[in-house]
Amino acid sequence: MKILVTGTAGFIGNQLALTLLARGDEVIGLDNHNDYYDVNLKLARLARIQDHSAYTHIKADLADRDAIEQLFKKHQPQRVVNLAAQAGVRYSIENPRAYIDSNIVGFTNILEGCRYHNVEHLVYASSSSVYGANESMPFSVHDNVDHPLSLYAASKKANELMAHTYSHLYHLPSTGLRFFTVYGPWGRPDMAPIIFAKAIMEGKPLKVFNYGKHRRDFTYIDDIVEGVIKTLDKVAEANPSWNGKQPDPATSKAPWRIYNIGNQMPVELMTFIELLEKYLGKTVEKQLLPMQPGDVPDTYADVEALVSDVGYQPSTSIETGVQRFVQWYLDFMRTNSPDYFATTSFLISPQHTRLNVIASKGAIETAASFSNAPNNSQPSGLFSNTSRVRKTGSTSQIC
């Protein structure tokens, strides 16, 4: 099968392409090599797939209409997985137009390419950020998500609505996946595992809010990729029982579906840190503090619909996943510059965002602890969100 994957220099996109190639698919990879964080990390990911005989790489931006039109015309992909997007909640406040360009204009280009070239199935990255002000737990695809708290979340909700329109008007089967917290080897440097691992190895104390009792739905990268592939292989179908008087937000009379993709087994922050310490062979001072105002104590995904419909079964325990991550991290750091993960100062909004970390006066503060948002997202093709630094007093802020 010939599959277009956007964001193949990113965390999930790269592992997805590698897995598809291993099973015998032909992969057309799209990425703009954005420098939102160190491009060398992205190039190192690409090195794992770029020489494969069944892989074709295209350096282009989703928002480049002509480039996307030519891609579909030349390569005629049978199915598409769109993981490229402008990621990040706080950055959407500072640079909202980037989200319109990539997440709205770029996604429109993908939809148009699928429409005019008879694509069998479009799978695209949504985000758990769409749950916004929703406090019902676990987060369910059958819940209303009409109250986003950031332009990033609004753009992802818009993607779901745009895809539904194309599914209805042009019978394009489409499936949106609301990614929760993804971790593992080759992850992004702005996510909890690398930030914590770097701090532990450097002996920096961690300020842990809510006394380490935050829980997040950590899902290992291999399980996520398996879920994406299972979803891609099962073409979205109309729900014959859908009723417009009592509409189900996750299905439709059109061939359109929405799923959560997570682990459905929230992990306490303290457990996660202790596992990192165990496998890194070092301990770090932990300063336990009360929960911050506005923070969310727990987030996790109801994945029953994905289990039922495509057979999704995440199987990697947190212990095994952290051990694998640590082994990769140590191996990678032995042979590469520490500049890949040089940024340890983050200040990110607490609800449905990545990680809320503040590096100030030598301590790493962990507020939201685990990301509930865009592990899957990249700015027009890349997983991102680091390297835009703003100095505020004695604290550096990564937005």
- Give the chain's length: 399
Q: Measured in whole angstroms, how far is the alpha carbon of residue 266 from the centre of its chain?
A: 17
- Which secondary-structure segment (H or E) carries 174? strand 174-179
- Spatial distance between the Cα atoms of 394 and 385, rounded to a whole number of angstroms: 21
Active-site annotation, residues? 152
List the one residue out of 370, 366, 368 whose CA is nearest residue 350.
Answer: 368
Q: Tokens in use for 1?
A: 């099968």
Q: Using alpha carbons, list the distances in angstroms from residue 124 to 144, 237, 314.
A: 20, 16, 19
Instruction: Please give the backbone phi and psi of residue 223, each rounded to the nearest 5 degrees, phi first.
Output: -65, -40
- Spatial distance between the Cα atoms of 280 and 296, rounded to a whole number of angstroms: 28
Query: Over the range 314-332, which residues count as b (16 or more CB within 10 Å of their CB) and which as e?
Result: bebebeebbebbbeebeeb
List the one residue out of 110, 281, 292, 276 whose CA is nearest residue 187.
Answer: 276
Q: Tokens in use for 339?
A: 């500049």
365: β partners: 207, 358
Peptide bond into 266 cis (omega under 30): no
